[in-house]
Each structure stands twice: as C-alpha cells, then as structure tokens.
Structure 1
Amino acid sequence: MALLPAIEIETKDNPDATVIWLHGLGADGHDFAPIVPELQLPGNLAVRFIFPHAPSIPVTINGGFVMPAWYDILEMDIDRKVDTIQLQVSADALRRFIDNERGRGIASKRIVVAGFSQGGAVAYQVALTHPEPLGGLLAMSTYFATSDIIQLHPANSEIPIEIHHGLHDPVVPVQLGKKAVKWLDTNGYSVTYREYRMEHSVCAEQIADTSSWLQERLLP
C-alpha cells in the first residue's frame, strides 16, 4: 500500500537517521514541522524528519465530525475507549514509513518513532511490536491505549523510551502518562519520564530536552 501524505525535512544532505513524528487529533503533519529548527541539532547530524498526515475520519466524541485522526475515540473517560482496530490500521501505516526508510538505506536502530497525544498511542503500538530494533520512542502528552492487547516483540525490549507530559493537561490527564510509565517499568522497559508545567502542548524546556535526547540516540 502507498504511504500516507507527509512532510519531509532533512537537516543535512544524505541523512543517515530518521525521526517519524505523528501529530495529535484534529491536526496534521504541519503541526510539528516547525519544531525542527527549534531543536537546534548540531550541523554534523543529518536527520530526515517525516511528519505524516492522518486520514480524515468521523470522531465520535466530537459528534461524528470528520477531522484528521489516527483512530476514533468513542468515550472520553479516564482510560479512553478507542477504536483499537483503527489504531492498528494507523500502526500499519506508520510501519510502512519505517519499512520505506529501511529501503532508503536507514538502519533500523537509527529510526526514532515519536508521537503527540493520539499519535503517541500509535507510536507505542508500533515501537513495542516492531520486529527490528528501533532507535527510540518519544511519547508526548499521550497514553498507552493498547497496553491490554499488545503483543510485545523482543527486538525492542531495550528500546530507549522518553515520555513527556504536562502537569496541567486537561485533555490527556497526567495520570495516564504515569500509568504508561508504571506499565513499562513493570514489563522491564527502561523509561525516562519528564513533566512540564504546561497543558496539552509543547514548551521550550521540552524542546531542549527532546533535542538532547535525540542527540544521545543519533550522534555517532
């Protein structure tokens, strides 16, 4: 199947690393594209950033209004009732981007998967089930929607995981971020968890931390 439409930004010619970054509900790939220059990555780090656009689908919690979404959200309770079948479809779409990057010569350990909110839920599903070791998982203001059904793959049992959450998030409560950390810790994953004094958004401190984390993962 074809890749979803996406924005690509390369920090330098001939990139040897890739970050695939998924946006949240109602947004598109343009939402996080401006963050690339703000990361202020060093000049010797050649990274291809890919920001896919989610397809537009009806979203139940928004009265069936059609908007960009990785999956339908059926109920906005504390744990979220989501359409896990659609989430899996989006996970397959993300996996096709990974496979495409492998075909472009990028080693799997130099591919980082990132996601904000809904995009983070898809990133969890892909990163922990992918059959080749990936370079890292960045989960931002999100929740682990498929923790009860996921089939973990040992290839990514040691994947570096960075989780960010806003202390005052009214959309995805911080308790859901902490719940994911607890689940991952219980299942033997190594996680770095950071909280920020923000709502459902991104802040300057977080961008600086993300830059440092990516450099740790991707610098030679």
Structure 2
Amino acid sequence: MRLSSVNRIETDIAVDDRLFVMFHGYGNDEREMVRVIDAVYAGTGREASYLSFHGTYDRRYMGGAYWYPDGCGVDERRRECSAVGDAVAGLLDSPMFAPRRRILVGFSQGGYMSYRIVREHPDIFDAAILMSPSFKGEEETDGASIEGDTRFLLLYGSRDRTIPLDDQRTAHRALGETGRLESREYAGMDHAIADAEIADIRAFVGLDAH
C-alpha cells in the first residue's frame, strides 16, 4: 500500500494546536480537503495544520483516486480502511504530534474511512467530522461499542441520493448511540459541500472568524 499526503504544519501550537487529518471522496484527491479546511479557516487570521491524504487507488484515465473499490464487499472495505488507519496511527505516534488536538475530516468514502479509523483507534482523535459518509455494511453496528471520547459531527444534504437514505439512517443511529454526536442536514443540498456546512464545521472545532 502506498500512502501519500500533502501537509502543512504550523509550529506555534500556542496560537492553534489543532491538527486536521483528512480523507477525500471517491474520484477526487488530497486537494479537495485542503480547499475545505482553507474555507473553514478563512477570516480567522490563522493557518490550519493538516495532513491531507491521497486515496490508495488511482483512477486510470479519468484522474482522481479512491480508498476502496466501488461495489466491494464489507470485509474488503474494512480491510482497506484498517490498512490506512494503522499507517496513519503509526505516523501520528510521534512527539511532533503529541501536544495537538487531532481532528479527522472526511467526505463520502473519506467520511467512512474516518469513522473506521476512530472505531479501530479510539484513543487518538478528539473529534471526527463526517461529511456525507457512506455507511453501507454498518447496519449491525452497535454504536455503544464505539469506544473512546471522540466527538462526531455528521453532515448530509437533504437531497443526497448518492448515499442511500437507509445508509444515512444507519450513520445517525450508530453514531447517535455513542452519546457524542452532533448532526446537521442542509436543505436542497445534494452530495456536495455548502457554505452553511463550512460555518458549522468552524463552530464545531471552536474557530471564530474575525
């Protein structure tokens, strides 16, 4: 497995100790999440620290990447997420990252990836922002078994049909059972990202725009 990323690490943690660990959606690349976090920080007078990862499978001819093959089974999807999660956990096990608040951010496939990483590495992340995540295959998940103290923010558009409604309901139920979930729905939004979503993420992570 090859795991690559684009990184920006601001050294003055007294100004901002957050570290965003980010996973893009199917067919996109690491720059997708950089655009998202730059929008979250716009107007704050600060720069975000982040690791934004590139999907482990590149799409031939069309560009972009993905984290697990379309249509793959639950076991394969989980294996792919576990391999990435283990690598990221090893990377974060460094004195360089120890004093930082670590926040996962993922869109679609990347949202599911973020959820699986929290599930398998429950003591690493302070928060996880799941934007329009797939939750296929998690129907039997007992949310009470998701250990740790990670807070979740779950975001969907009211017109998102890329993620079936049953999968969205599964996400709400499973994460709600942790007792650590905040969720938002955006009227008229498809499988996309909206300005209101950016504002809600900013509030969730405790950033104030000036």
Structures share fold, TM-score greater than 0.5:
yes
Select the residue among 159, 177, 182 that pairs with 1:192. Answer: 182
* Cα offset, 1:68, TM superposition: 1.7
* Cα offset, 1:69, TM superposition: 1.4
Q: How does 1:1-220 map to 2 (within 5 A)?
A: 4-10=3-9, 12-15=10-13, 16-40=17-41, 42-43=44-45, 47-56=48-57, 68-74=65-71, 82-107=73-98, 110-147=101-138, 148=140, 152=145, 154=147, 156=148, 158-185=149-176, 187-197=177-187, 198-215=189-206
- The residue type paired with residue 21 of structure 1 is M
Q: Partners in 2 of 1:100 and 1:115 — Cα distance?
A: 18
Between the two structures, name the one with larger relative contact order (CA 8 Å, sep ≥ 6).
Answer: 2
Give CA-to-partner distance per residue, 1:124-177, whole Å, 9 cap, x none.
Answer: 1111221524211111111324534789563x2x32110000111121134422
CA contact (8 A) 1:23 1:117 kept: yes
Large movers: runs of 4+ above 6 Å: none
What TM-score do the two structures reach when normalised by structure 1?
0.76
Q: Partners in 1 of 2:93 and 2:165 — Cα distance?
A: 35
Q: Partners in 1 of 2:94 and 2:137 — Cα distance?
A: 28
CA 1:87/1:27 → structure 2, altered by over 3 Å: closer, same or farther?
Answer: farther
Q: Secondary structure at the match of 1:119?
A: helix
Q: Partners in 2 of 1:58 and 1:208 — Cα distance?
A: 32
Q: Secondary structure at the match of 1:33?
A: helix
* Cα offset, 1:18, TM superposition: 1.4
Q: Partners in 2 of 1:188 and 1:36 — Cα distance?
A: 26
Give the number of aligned pairs.
Answer: 199
* Cα offset, 1:104, TM superposition: 4.2
CA contact (8 A) 1:19 1:50 kept: yes
User: Alignment identity in percent?
Assistant: 19
CA contact (8 A) 2:146 2:178 kept: no
Q: Partners in 1 of 2:63 and 2:199 — Cα distance?
A: 34
CA contact (8 A) 1:18 1:48 kept: yes
- Note the aligned Cα RMSD (angstroms): 3.0
Aligned counterpart, 1:77 = none
* Cα offset, 1:95, TM superposition: 3.5
